[in-house]
C-alpha cells in the first residue's frame, strides 16, 4: 500500500464508511490497542475480524466524532508504519466507567476533546491489513484541536 492509498483509507475512516474501511482488511484481521493507562493490569483490548471492528467503532462514534490525520508513512514489503494524529470530540456523555476511559481519568463527557498522536504498525498479507498494533505516543493540549 502506498501513501495515497492509505490516505483514501483514512478518508473512509473519517467519514464513517465502515464497509470501505474494512475492505482493506484480511478476513481474520486483529486490531490490538495500547494498554489502558489507568489500569495497566487490565487485559489488553483486541478486536477480531472486520465485523467486530465495525461494531466497536459504530458504538464509539455514537458518542464522539473521531478524525485522523496522517503524519509519517513508511511502507516496505508487508509492513507499514504510520503516525496518526487523532482527535475525539465528544457530543454525548460516554457511559464507560473510569477504568475503561483511556482518554481521561473519568469517562468522557459531552464537550470533552481528546487530541493524541499514536503510532500504528500494520502487518500486510496479500495487499490487505492482517494485524494492526496501535501504540499511544502522546496526548496533546485539547486546545490544539484543528480537525
pLDDT at 34: 83
**What is the tens place of the pLDDT at every residue in 23-71?**
999 999 999 998 766 666 767 789 999 999 999 999 999 999 999 999 9
Using CA atoms, how far apart are residues 141 and 33, in angstroms rounded to an integer? 22
Query: What local confidence, expressed as pLDDT, does residue 44 receive?
Result: 76
Closest CA to 43 of 53, 58, 31, 33: 33
Each residue's pLDDT tens digit, 90-141:
999 988 754 455 555 567 889 999 999 999 999 999 999 999 999 989 999 9
Instruction: Write down the residue that cell numbers 469517562 correspond to.
Output: 107
Return the pLDDT at 116: 94
Note whether 86 and 116 are within 8 A (CB): yes
Separation between Cα atoms, residue 54 and residue 60, nearest integer Å: 10
If we measure between CA atoms, which residue out of 93, 130, 139, 135 comes closest to residue 112? 93
Q: What is the pTM of this model?
A: 0.90
Domains recognised in the chain with CATH numbers: 3-144 (3.10.450.50)
CA distances from 46 to 55, 86, 112, 140 (A): 13, 19, 25, 25
CA angle 54, 84, 61 (to 5 degrees): 30
Amino acid at each position: 500500500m502506498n501513501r495515497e492509498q492509505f490516505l483514501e483509507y483514512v478518508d473512509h475512516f473519517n467519514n464513517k464508511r465502515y464497509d470501505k474501511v474494512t475492505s482493506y482488511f484480511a478476513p481474520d484481521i486483529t486490531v490490538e490497542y495500547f494498554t489502558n493507562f489507568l489500569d495497566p493490569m487490565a487485559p489488553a483490548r483486541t478486536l477480531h475480524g472486520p465485523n467486530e471492528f465495525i461494531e466497536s467503532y459504530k458504538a464509539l462514534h455514537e458518542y464522539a466524532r473521531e478524525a485522523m490525520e496522517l503524519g509519517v508513512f513508511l511502507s516496505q514489503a508487508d509492513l507499514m508504519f504510520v503516525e496518526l494524529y487523532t482527535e475525539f470530540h465528544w457530543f454525548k456523555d460516554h457511559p464507560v466507567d473510569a477504568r475503561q476511559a483511556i482518554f481521561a481519568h473519568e469517562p468522557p463527557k459531552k464537550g470533552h476533546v481528546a487530541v493524541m498522536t499514536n503510532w500504528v504498525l500494520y502487518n500486510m498479507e496479500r495487499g490487505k491489513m492482517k494485524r494492526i498494533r496501535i501504540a499511544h505516543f502522546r496526548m496533546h493540549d485539547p486546545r490544539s484541536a484543528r480537525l
